[in-house]
Amino acid sequence: MFRRALTQYPRQFHTARLLRQEFKDPYKVLGINKNSSQSDIKKAYYKLAKKYHPDINKEEDSQKRFHDLQNAYEILSDEEKRRQYDQFGAAAFSQGGGAGGPGGAGAGYGGGPGGFGGGFGGFDFGGLNFEDLFGSAFGGGGARGGRGGPGGFGGSGFVREYKGENITVPFQVSFKDAVFGMKNVKLNYKCYDPCSTCDASGLKPGHSRSTCPTCHGSGTQVHVRAGFQMASTCSTCDGEGSTINNSDKCTSCHGHGYKLNSDKTVTVDLPHGLQDGDTIRVPNQGHYPGMALDPAMKSQLRLSRGDLLVRIRVKKDTRFQVSNNYDIIYTQEIPITTAALGGIVEVPTVDEDKIRLKVSSGTQHDQVIRIPNKGVPRGNRGDRGDMIVKFKVVIKKPRDETERYLWETLAHLTNDTTARRTITPNSNQEGSKSSAADKGTIEQNESTMKKLEHFLSNALKKIKGE
């Protein structure tokens, strides 16, 4: 079928190895044991197929799990295929496997009338009525006219799908861009692209693949040990059945069918409401599958790129934080006098404007005010979350004697008996025994007392209405 070397691009996987990795034990897929009856198989499949159908289950891996269920049921619902699997395992369904396997005789995958064919999009599930199973999901009617006709996918053969590896690219955004999103973001990264010279075949123009000399095209080797016949994947072609001779290899990709693109660029739009650690999936922008595609097998294989995963890193903002996905928190410091008397403060917003807020008299520490429609946008509806302003009451140490006098006077007026008093009206009048330094302190304190008396005098006049 196809073959490629691994030495130049060790990140890629071999096609045959991929087949072995993706072929899953049908008993484990359906969650049953090997002694299960056909009725048990059908019930298990009915239950899981309804749960993981991509049109019902929107999880990322639902399509792959549903595909595994289809494969498992196709094998176990057919007694011949089930017998082959029980005897040979996955090798019975590899390239050129036992009777009834892919491309083999009888009712193998895409083989004859017993392959994928019949109702519900070209599938025959042993009498299981998918129109009844998914009727409610599709508005009452089954999904008819799906891929393939009587022979299954595409008519005469089973189409195998291979998807390349995903690529993860980190991308840092500012807090504001995380809130509002970004348009036309250019991302540069490395990825594997199909070779344009040979159209991903790995062959020189006009050349073709050669039949494997070991397995003679079957892809498997049969061994007889202790009277038992055992089938294993051909070690020469890794189950592909064909190889590319050195003289036939494409001179551009050296027979791999793909090349490294060191300067891949895509333009994407990042949605609003991003959070640190979010991943944005860009479909079909990852690696091309690591294989050389035999031109003769194009109708039986479907190759697609992996996805590009953009891992978001949000640069921290010292002012704002997001809460409950849509609210933005901002902490506003206010002095204790503003908290006690009330006032007006200006707060910034993520929109880069400022809003004047009224601080009520008696505002407490951690008290909040909500500003509607100043948070993170919600979907495409146009409305936004709230901005939550949290007040932090700041209490500072008195800077001089004047402030200390005022605080002690306030403590006296409010009957605060727990506050510490350090200065009394007579504490600075010690007589002639005071030193020169003490006299200087006394003069300073007397000046402070005069300022305090003047302030209190004005305050009393206002209280009396003078």
Query: What's the whole-number mean pLDDT along residues 362-379?
Result: 94
Query: What's the whole-number mean pLDDT along residues 42-65?
Result: 80
Confidence of residue 129 (pLDDT cuts 50, 70, 90): very low
Distances (CA, A) of 197 to 163, 291, 305, 373: 21, 15, 18, 55
Confidence of residue 462 (pLDDT cuts 50, 70, 90): low
The answer to whether 272 touches 179, Cβ cutoff 8 Å, is yes
Q: What are 363's two structure tokens? A: 């505002």
Class level of CATH domain 161-205+253-314: mainly beta
Q: Which of 166, 193, 240 is CA-nearest to residue 15?
A: 240
The answer to whether 282 touches 266, Cβ cutoff 8 Å, is yes
Q: What is the pLDDT of residue 146?
A: 34
Q: Which of 454, 305, 271, 293 is CA-nearest to residue 379?
A: 271
Neighbours of 52 (CB within 10 A): 19
Distances (CA, A) of 115 to 80, 118, 150: 12, 9, 8
Is 161-205+253-314's fold the same as 320-394's? yes
How many residues comprise the chain? 466
pLDDT digit string (tens) for 251-270? Answer: 999 999 999 999 999 999 99
Q: Which of 406, 40, 95, 56 is CA-nearest to residue 236?
A: 95
The answer to whether the predicted template modeling score (pTM) of the entire model surpasses 0.95 is no
Query: What's the whole-number mean pLDDT along residues 332-347?
Result: 95
The answer to whether 29 touches 85, Cβ cutoff 8 Å, is no
CATH fit for domain 21-88, picks 3.40.190.10, 3.40.50.2300, 1.10.287.110, 1.10.40.30: 1.10.287.110
Strands (E), 244-373: 258-270, 279-282, 301-304, 308-314, 320-323, 327-335, 343-348, 354-359, 368-371
Distance CA 167, CA 191 (A): 8
Q: What are 227's two structure tokens? A: 């009277």
Neighbours of 239 (CB within 10 A): 28
Domain extents in the chain: 21-88, 161-205+253-314, 210-243, 320-394
Neighbours of 341 (CB within 10 A): 12
pLDDT digit string (tens) for 403-450? Answer: 888 888 888 878 888 988 775 544 444 444 445 555 555 555 566 667
The answer to whether 301 touches 216, Cβ cutoff 8 Å, is no
**CATH T-level assignment (fold) for domain 320-394:** HSP40/DNAj peptide-binding domain (2.60.260)
* CATH number of the 210-243 domain: 2.10.230.10
Residue 453, helix vs strand vs coil: helix
End-to-end alpha carbon distance in the chain: 105
Between β-strands 220-225 and 228-233, what pairing exists: parallel, antiparallel or unpaired?
antiparallel
Residue with tokens 């008397």: 341
pLDDT digit string (tens) for 38-47? Answer: 888 988 888 8
Distance CA 301, CA 161 (A): 6
Distance CA 458, CA 466 (A): 9
